[in-house]
Amino acid sequence: MSIEVKQIILHQLYLAENTAEKTENQAENHTLTTRLRSQLLPVNDEIEQMMLQLHQNYQSKALAYGVFKGESQFARQLNRLMENELDFIAFSQQSAQNLAAELAKYVFADSGTFILCQYTFLATDYLFLALLDSRHSMLVDEELDIRHTSYLNIQQYDIAARLNLTELKLSAASNRYLSFIKGRVGRKISDFFMDFLGADSGFDPKQQNLTLLQAVDDFCQQGELSSKQIQEVKKQAFDYCKGQLKVGEEVVLEELSDTLPSLNQQNFSQFSQQQQYELADSFPPLSGALKSLTKYSGSGKGVTLSFDAALLNERIIWDEQSDSLMIKGLPANLRDQLQRFAKSDA
């Protein structure tokens, strides 16, 4: 796969000593300052390889989607950029300063390299923004001496967003032209980046996945299938979604429908439209949500259970009256633990 980098620039955000009295949200006794680059980076093989890695890593992360608010300053500046009223360097510098001002409000504010890149991938134009950490390591030079070195961490990052400029131009009413990474330290990462971009929540991939699960289940139930046939249909749906997830592609409703059998003279796509599930034509698959197509799982009161749905009424018997499960053929490692406990308790 090839990537065409059109424009790219880096700026730095760094913590500077602050002699004034610190505010409630200020990290330690530092303020966030910017060091701005005045020229675009020259595009070469190294730059395109870096952006390809960033693009691929971004595709593999858990993403949320948003839409610009009417008062979004970032959206106004972006529109000026797209109308050639503002050049990329000035746009990037203003964005870096606004990001620093927003990030400085939070206790997790830290130094980093702010990257902005406009690029094309598979005939789609993107604008990528990310705040990358630097990592420190050691290297052996040509004289076999050990030296310190620093490098950008392009494998692991949490503060990033991407605009699908092609979709934004074609349909400003879209609710998924803007995506960003869901933070791993609570909602504040997502909140601050949404504030920086001036955006509200938009397309909801999790809800789409949950709706898909319900639609597949209802599709099977109305088809009057046996338990085994239901599991086969759900396994087909899961295999398709898992395959799309593996190659970084979205679930396409028509493609999924083609992999499933028609029931009551209706295919899955026709059924979902008739029942008004409001499934999008395509959406990102989420591994955690899709597991319930082929597994039963639950936890509570100190017990966690997960097993393949095909085992129900085979090796695992549910007694609804007594609210109990009987397991035939325990996993070997669980049996060993129980046997050791029995010996120690004897």
| Model pLDDT for residues 88-129, shown as the tens digit of each residue | 999 999 999 999 888 888 777 778 899 999 999 988 999 999
CB of 52 closer than 8 Å to CB of 3: yes
- What per-residue confidence (pLDDT) applies to 25? 45
CA dihedral angle for residue 172, residue 174, residue 177, residue 180, rounded to 10 degrees: 130
Residue type present at position 45: D
Other CB atoms within 10 A of residue 9 CB: 22
What are the helix (H) ranges across the chain?
45-59, 73-82, 88-103, 165-170, 188-197, 205-222, 227-246, 253-259, 268-274, 287-290, 332-345
Helix (H, G, I), strand (E, B) or coil at 21: coil
Which pLDDT score is estimated for 55? Answer: 92
Spans of the chain below 70 pLDDT = 1, 17-30, 151, 183-190, 345-346
Q: In the numeric block, which tokens belong to residue 305?
A: 């259970």
Please report the pLDDT score of residue 165 as a whole number: 94
CB contact at 8 A, 177 and 168: yes
* The pLDDT of residue 21: 53
Only one residue has tokens 């390591």, namely 137
Residues 210, 289: contact at Cβ < 8 Å? yes
Residue 234 neighbours by CB distance under 10 Å:
22
Q: What is the pLDDT of residues 56-80, one digit of tens each?
A: 888 888 788 888 988 899 999 999 9
Which tokens hold the place of 242? 């898992």
Residue 2 Ramachandran class (φ > 0 left, ψ -120 to 50 alpha, else beta): beta
Joined together, the tokens standing for residue 153 give 């961490």
The first and second tokens of residue 263, run together, are 């029931």
Q: What is the model's pLDDT at position 289?
A: 80
Local structure of residue 264 (DSSP, 8 states)? T
pLDDT computed for residue 29 by the predictor: 47
Pick the closest to residue 156 from 192, 130, 178, 180 (CA basis): 130
Structure tokens at 292: 């319930």
User: How far apart are alpha carbons 134 and 130 in whole angstroms?
Assistant: 13
Q: pLDDT tens, 4-31?
A: 999 999 999 888 766 555 444 444 545 7
For residue 284, how many other CB atoms are within 10 A of its CB?
Answer: 22
